[in-house]
Amino acid sequence: MPREIGRVLLVGAGPGSADLLTIRALRAIEGADALLYDALVSDEVLALAPRACTCIQTGKRAAGASMAQETINALMLRLAAKGLTVVRLKGGDPSVFGRSGEEVDFLSARGVPVEVVPGVTAASAAAAQFSFPLTHRGAARRLVFATARADGGPLVEDGWASGADPQATLALYMGRDSIAAVFERLIAAGRAPSTPALAVENAGRPEARLLRGTLASLPALLAAMAPGGPVVLIVGEVAARARSAEVVGAGSVEPARIAV
């Protein structure tokens, strides 16, 4: 008899802390036969997988070595064909720059059942951790999620006008190394150089750090900070509302705090 095909779950691991997983994500990880995880998934989350689970690191971290998407697709297919429950574990939310659409299309076209399990994305984690809203009445009526580069290639040239809207909050992913060029484009598109801006390293984790500045000042401040972890950039009036344990001046690096 032919072997019954397994299934694949594309699961959002959130920003790193296990207590920010959804219950559905936790159950998926605990029920995995095979776990394909991205480089940004924390050891704390990986420890939730069953002891007998096959765990494979697929990379996918900016400026570092990573497994090709075609290889990941083939691996998911091969494991599912063995009848396994495969969890493709992604940092943040699979639907926010997580290539979930490509993977759903690939698997569905080959008859593999696939499910997407959402997760907390970095911008939401940063906003919660440092007590600022992403939208705010009278200040931010729109939220724009953007990435600085497409497919790891050169800086995206068009579309910056949406982030230059003074009523928009821009959450920029994978922009740490391109911040100066991106902010120049936003200013050229009409956003005021004095617009508040934040860089949050390791959003959602206990070791998260917050860097305050403006469109004009933040690139140099971030270069001086030289973060080693993933960074999400927040641009807009809401950024001025960020809080931490101490009230400090622009350009200061602040540790995370626990909101009570």
From the candidates 60, 76, 90, 93, give the one annotated as an active-site residue. Answer: 60
At residue 213, the 3 state secondary structure works out as strand
Query: Which among 245, 244, 221 is positioned nearest to 233, based on CA atoms?
Result: 221
Q: Are 118 and 10 in contact (CB under 8 A)?
A: no
Check if 151 is active-site: no
3-state secondary structure 21-70: CCHHHHHHHHCCCEEEEECCCCHHHHCCCCCCCEEEEEECCCCCCCCCHH
Check if 38 is active-site: yes
Check if 174 is active-site: yes
- Centroid of chain to Cα 255: 19
Alpha helices in the chain (DSSP H): 23-30, 43-46, 69-81, 100-109, 122-129, 161-164, 179-188, 218-225
From the candidates 1, 19, 38, 76, give the one annotated as an active-site residue. Answer: 38
Q: Are 89 and 11 in contact (CB under 8 A)?
A: yes
For the annotated catalytic residues, the residue numbers are: 38, 60, 174
